[in-house]
Amino acid sequence: MIMQFPELNYNFDYSITQLDERISVAYYDTVIGNNTLIFIHGLSSYIPAWLKLIPLLQNKLRCIAIDLPGYGKSSEGVHEGTVTFYTEVLSLFIRKLKLENVTLVGHSMGGQISIASALQFPSLISRLVLLAPAGFETFSEKEKSLIKKYNTAQLYYSASEDDILASFRSNFFKMNDDIKPMIDDRINMRRWKNFVDYCNVVVNSLNGLLDYPVYDKLKELMQPSLIFFGKNDKWIPNKNLHKNTTTESIALNGASQIPNSKLILIDECGHFIPYEHPHLLGREIKSFML
């Protein structure tokens, strides 16, 4: 099985399952538990994004964190990155591992993929936990074109160490030193053989989100849904296009569309909620699930 980043050093045990002749998925699985949480990372992220949260849940719930194809240690190459591609991957993964009582836990891009999966495969998904999900914020066709114009592989490929550090900082209300291994991985991957392919996957993934809006379908979600937003999120809303919109308004509008949902707004919290407030998430998710 050929992975996107064989050079990447995961300091935990992981498995890889082959879904078809081209697609493999790397995953971290705590194995024990009748209720299963599948953790789906955000844009340009990977399994380690969940490693502060999972230990707080694994004594009661089976936790499975995946690398989407094109990310981390899942299959190499320039995958198409559409939302339907990722929802199909998730459905194949759930069926391959014969998982039941599945809750999708999606952060940012992973949130929009989780919503789309729940709509497309309702029999496979029991609940949703959405962390600063993409898809609540809507964009006009003109705005989508502008984002796509500047969302290029060269933008990611040419990012300097200072650019990378600034990007990470923008995800937090207050960034701590425990994020350093992830920053180091992002800096190091610029030297790895599949880095250009990865940059193209990131571009395809963002374009895929823009091309598959879910806001108007939120009212069709039948799964109980727990939603979190940080009040100090610097990524939602898009500050260049929606300067007069607030994170809170986007969160409230989106959550109001989902029939059986609970919204939690977190003080002193940015976009990267799983790293910034894992203990709050752990308590609320256990209460939601058990």
Please give the Cα distance from 39 to 32 (Å, whole number).
15
Please give the Cα distance from 28 to 13 (Å, whole number).
7
Closest alpha carbon to 83 in 113, 110, 111: 113
CB 127 within 8 A of CB 103: yes
pTM: 0.97
Please give the Cα distance from 202 to 81 (Å, whole number).
8
Q: Which pLDDT value is given to residue 2?
A: 85
Fold of 15-289: Rossmann fold (3.40.50)
Q: Which pLDDT value is given to residue 290?
A: 85
Beta strand ranges found along 19-101 (DSSP E)? 24-29, 36-40, 62-66
Q: Which pLDDT value is given to residue 157?
A: 96
Which segments in the chain show pLDDT lower than 70? Answer: 1
Could you tell me the residue ranges of all domains in the chain? 15-289
Q: Which pLDDT value is given to residue 71?
A: 98
Per-residue model confidence as pLDDT tens digits over 75-112: 999 999 999 999 999 999 999 999 999 999 999 999 99
Element (H, E) at 181: helix 180-188
Per-residue model confidence as pLDDT tens digits over 185-221: 999 999 999 999 999 999 999 999 999 999 999 999 9
Q: Which pLDDT value is given to residue 1?
A: 63
> What are the Cα distances from residue 48, in Å, to 108, 110, 161, 181, 188?
15, 14, 20, 9, 15
- Name residue, tokens 């193209």: 200
